[in-house]
Amino acid sequence: MKGPLDPRLAGRLARKKTQLDRYRPLPQETVRRLNDDLRVFLTYHSNAIEGNTLSLRETQMVIEYGVTVDGHPLREYLEATNHAEAYSYMITLVEKREPITRETILTLHSMVMDKILEPKGLFRTAPVSIRGANMTPPPASQVESLMREWGVWIDGEGKDYEPVIRAAIAHHGSTSCSCAKDILQLSFYAIGAYATSRHLTQPTQGTTVHSPT
């Protein structure tokens, strides 16, 4: 398999996964609580990378109780609730073993950017830049074709990589960040979506990952 992990890291992951597998299937209530925790943790960390200043506790309060905290712009609350909603949608895809298609990616983008960006759920039509980075994103005219190429890689050569590395390569931007989590879920590295199932041990076919923006 391509893209071998550092041996020490690979060993740690294998031991932790083996330990987790001993407890499967988990009780439904345990699965629910784990999913709730993952939704908060992943929302917090994904948004923090993008500059959101909500703390972990504040993110939890926004998602679980709809509470707002003084000193934060509305956009940061929307980023939290939108990401949480997209995570929940992703979980339903994993539970049904649905492939991530072009339409799914645009749906995720629409959910993540709801009330934040217009138009949403579409491939961008204008140039963008990343503050503080030397990388220049591709021209808008190339985004959709690059998305198709990315999907071919994920469904083809990408399957020759370790699931964690495959997900790491897929991880770029808020939308594909969710898709990367989906790859890990389908590879049985995360526990929330299907901790009650023992047979989901390989990524599903048709997984496509790319950020529309």
Q: Which CATH number do you get for residue 153?
A: 1.10.3290.10
In a domain, residue 154? The reply is yes
Quick check: 195 and 34 in contact, CB under 8 A?
yes
% residues pLDDT > 70 (the chain): 79
Residues in Cβ contact with 156 at an 8 Å cutoff, skipping those fewer than 6 apart: none
In a domain, residue 212? The reply is no
Q: What is the pTM of this model?
A: 0.77
At residue 210's C-alpha, the angle toward residues 204 and 213, to 5°, is: 155
- Structural domain boundaries, residue 102: 27-125+136-186
**Which is more confident, 203 or 188?**
188
In a domain, residue 196? The reply is no
Per-residue model confidence (pLDDT) at position 209 = 30
The pLDDT confidence band at residue 180, using thresholds 50, 70 and 90, is low
Mean pLDDT of 179-206: 41
pLDDT winner (highest mean) among 40-49, 142-151, 157-166: 40-49
Tokens of 146: 């690059």
The count of structural domains within the chain is 1
In a domain, residue 68? The reply is yes
Tokens of 83: 């990401």
Name which of 204, 212, 205 is nearest 145 in CA terms. 212
Q: Over the stretch 88-131, which tens digit does the pLDDT of each residue have? A: 998 888 888 887 788 888 898 899 999 999 889 998 888 988 77
Ramachandran class of 155: left when φ > 0, alpha when ψ lies in -120 to 50, beta otherwise: alpha
Looking up tokens 């597998």 gives 21
In a domain, residue 130? The reply is no
In a domain, residue 131? The reply is no
C-alpha 123/C-alpha 146 separation (Å) is: 11
In a domain, residue 17? The reply is no
Helix (H, G, I), strand (E, B) or coil at 23: coil
Q: Over the stretch 58-85, which tens digit does the pLDDT of each residue have? A: 999 999 999 988 899 999 999 999 999 9
Amino acid identity for residue 126 in this structure: A
Mean pLDDT of 135-162: 85
In a domain, residue 211? The reply is no
